[in-house]
Amino acid sequence: MKNIFKMLAIILVIIGFASCKKKDPKPEIFDITKYSIVGKFSSGNPYIITIDADDKATLTAYGFSTGKYTFIDGVFKFNFSNGEVIGSFTIENGAIKSYAGPAIINTYDLVKIPATNQLEGKTFKGIWQNLAYTTEFKFTASQVTETTNNQSSVVNYTLINNLAVKKQNGAYHTLLVIIDNKLEGAHYNQGYAWGTFMRQ
């Protein structure tokens, strides 16, 4: 009888360990396509890198460049400008630890793609640095009102990963990217302007 009780006790202990193991959460698999890389060039202009599931990535700045990428052992390597330029970002624990590549990329941050448009319903105001005039941006779900020197224009924009927008007003092209809760902008028409715009 004692042996039977001992066997039952051992079985209960084994079942207890097995149930504990089942409750252990599975480690989350890191999916690079659920993220964007945002930052600024050494010139001050912002950029955003979007990452697709078919090994294609796009760097959008004052133009855009599409290329192929690999993501192996935490290293995101991006070949862009028809393979002429290669940049790589080492990623650990959901953040960029280091960057190797062209010096034009000055800052970088890995940002999970938000579920909603981070610009809709918000207003930002700041100065175009090399033009020395103040501009205000007011965003709806699909349009932005840009006001400079009491003159306003309303245009549609293209949303990028819920973090950035591209817009065109005549010959003027503008890219606006949320970086560190600020709106970083690049504005170009033959020449370039850049600026930082604060939430109002």
Query: Using one digit for the tens of pLDDT, what is the confidence trace for 9-39?
Result: 455 445 555 555 555 566 668 899 999 999 9
DSSP 140: -
Torsion of Cα atoms, 194 then 45 then 57 then 181, to 10°: -70
Is 97 in the same domain as 166? no
**pLDDT per residue over 79-93, tens digit each?**
876 666 789 999 999
Q: What mean pLDDT value characterizes the chain? A: 86
For the stretch 129-138, pLDDT in tens is 877 789 999 9
Looking at the fold, whether 154 and 132 belong to one and the same domain comes out as: yes
**Rounded average pLDDT over 100-120:** 94
Q: Return the pLDDT at 74.
A: 95
DSSP string, 32-74: GGGEEEEEEBTTS-EEEEEE-TTSEEEEESSSEEEEEEEEETT
Domain boundary pick from 112, 140, 172: 112
Provide the percentage of residues in the chain whose pLDDT is more than 70.
Answer: 84
Residues 127 and 106 in one domain: no
CA distance readout (Å), 33 to 2, 41, 55, 99, 147? 60, 22, 9, 18, 35
Q: Which domain holds residue 176?
A: 123-199
Question: Which one of 112, 132, 159 terminates a domain?
Answer: 112
How far is the C-alpha of 183 from the C-alpha of 198, rounded, in Å?
6
15 within some domain? no
Query: Where do we find the tokens 């202990």?
Result: 13
